[in-house]
């Protein structure tokens, strides 16, 4: 890839606050880009709670890979995964969005993706499922799984 091609590459990310789609040049991902609509930071390094409407923006229309955690508040393994996902979101803020879907509040999304047990992690890129993992993972296992799936 030559320098001119690299300079024109961009990622489309959804704002975690207003869910507007924002085009960010790859070379500017480290600069804490702001949403032109609501002025909030786009790559916060924190998990984003999604509902049906925001799911479309973050997963189906954005090009930034999204790791979606399908969980429920009463689920012990889901609660154990929360700090692991928080760390992954912070460590991979410029290359991956971590999102959470509460299956109790969003049963239609859980049904759409055939979620039979929680926690279930699904990694998406460009609206397509890349990989799926059911059950809790520790931080190093999650990192290996993500690295393998993202290639």
| Residues identified as active-site | 75, 78
The structure tokens 């689920």 sit at 75
The structure tokens 């499922």 sit at 129
Q: Is 124 exposed, middle or buried (0-12, 13-18, 19+ CB in 10 A)?
A: buried
| Spatial separation of the C-alpha atoms in residues 50 and 8, rounded to whole Å | 30
Q: Hey, what's the torsion of the CAs at 28, 66, 87, 107, to 10 degrees? A: 150
C-alpha closest to that of 101 among 88, 84, 85: 85
| Spatial separation of the C-alpha atoms in residues 143 and 37, rounded to whole Å | 33
């Amino acid at each position: 890839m030559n320098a001119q091609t690299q300079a024109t590459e961009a990622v489309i990310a959804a704002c975690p606050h207003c869910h507007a789609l924002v085009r960010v040049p790859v070379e500017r991902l480290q600069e804490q880009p702001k949403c032109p609509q609501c002025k909030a930071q786009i790559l916060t390094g924190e998990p984003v709670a999604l509902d049906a409407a925001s799911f479309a923006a973050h997963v189906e229309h954005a090009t930034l890979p999204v790791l979606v955690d399908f969980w429920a508040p009463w689920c012990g393994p889901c609660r154990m995964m929360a700090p692991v996902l928080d760390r992954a979101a912070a460590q991979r803020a410029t290359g991956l969005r971590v999102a959470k879907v509460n299956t109790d509040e969003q049963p239609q999304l859980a049904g759409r993706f055939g979620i039979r047990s929680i926690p279930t992690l699904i990694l998406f890129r460009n609206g397509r499922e890349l990989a799926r993992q059911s059950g809790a993972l520790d931080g190093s296992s999650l990192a290996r799984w993500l690295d393998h799936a993202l290639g």
